[in-house]
Structure 1
């Protein structure tokens, strides 16, 4: 991603416009999104016209050229509305585009960046029925095509966000039979979803996040040309995937922080409107404690977001800090929505009120792009590796 980004004054104007769009257009449409489990087509087209699908694509390829700080701010702003709105473009501007930036050949950038900027929807095929963070267990294979210079892909990917309506997938596949050091047995392939042999399962029924769709991707003798191999080199796929996950984790952290703010604002409004013992419950000190704790934690996550994204824009290695931000923000969001249900009291358990939906929607943030537990291990691993390097 560009480290300079969009001109700050122009970006501030864009954020002001986006905040109005979120409040005046997206939030009023939430009931429709939830009832139909689908973002209305006209809203998707509006989001494409606003450039949301190409936020991080360089300007010379038709995108907005946002840096990491600006991209996270957009995600944070969008996440104030229902999570589906962020989900539809988040893989484009996060993991897929990051992998293209870090790993693609010039020809692949020239082919795919303009398409992404115009609104082609991407998905990211890493997780499988038997493997997620464990790349050694990956079963999807890519074998050289005996009839040409291409590849034949076979396997199944699971829990793939946007798969049911994606135009292109970045598929991680095993190009060597045995697990090699540093995951060099895994390569990445850019595969259009309309390639013969590519199919998706029915969208999975989920706990929350209506309007955001995930499904399996099945690859049955999928023939791709040689130039589908990301970077034109085998053995680099997992490295590109992990590099792009930093970006995905920043996106999830930014989203969790924005959604926590939405939930807290809802609780403050409810506490002022709901009366008990002849006065608003906002006057009760234990209600105030829950509101104050939530505000403090959101502020801490916002500060982490600013720090990690500024470091990324300076070119620092942020693998530890991106993981730390994602863990803190997602766990924080879980605590905030739990308090919000409590502030609502009995009404918080009813689907008629927003608090119940906030609670269900927030749960996934602690799971995808690396569970809290996996990221604890990753943070500790890097801490210990750095200590060993300094004290070895």
Structure 2
């Protein structure tokens, strides 16, 4: 089968790596890809949000399956455009992708489906939002309604922080149009877990769970990022909890989306809080997480391409997924200054040595090749250095041994990924 993978980050490198091991695969393209993906797929100079160009390429090259990595092309209607062109696409329609494109829409669906979550309210008027904050007090959570690259959520410990978030999101528009509406939510307490399920519109097949580290600093301090590392499986997420999440959160959501005439097909990413009263929904995403995808692909033993096809064709009720009992961890190496301003073009060396560490795997996120073939950093999050092992500690050891083999003075990473579990 010929596959076009859309995207160019660490998640897409992990997906390309897993897809390249499928016995069904005959050709893999990636648009736009990165320097690491280029080693296992043919990269195409089409942006992930250039929907008409992606569909034209897929038609011209008789692509059998388009796989959407990031959320943006899905919210822009990539799956709809593929369907209109007679192409298979792994990912939800634009109407179903609103589960990520609008946090208010997610809360409306979850409320209708009886999914346990946080108390919430939405606002388009900053003055009304501030009045609500003063009534509720802190700690409290302020969220930009739209897509904000994982950075549109402020967990405010004080009322002053919450009101400052309203100013930045709604008035200063630091996240652009995504901040036209804000949600203000009850702060949930407990352990946060990312859980993934494959969906074909009616059947949901549990995948695996992971825990990530969103804050830039060690000890989970500093501003939120797109993710500084992740590990799987999380010790706190038991088989009993998985069954409860499937029964109370995932399947009711799938049923409600079908009832609305917008069945969800793709991967449903549930951000959960494991509270004292049980798992509660924080938010939905409509794609694999980044960096969670890296550790999921490290543990997946089934043929990924076969699984994605089953989701597209409504055949998940006849499909099973096999997972390694080993643990996996990924440590993100980012450019100095991230998630603020950072430089580009710095030289990265030592990846060949890192790849030789037993149990290690190097995933590229923001990389490119210079004219002389040198590897250079082009993004904020640049590399994902993963490790696997019989225990979480063994996976951590492998990942950090590989990190220490990388020679990149302009980069940094957290040295405490997995600290809560270990």
Q: TM-score, normalised by structure 1?
A: 0.31
Which has the larger Rg? 1
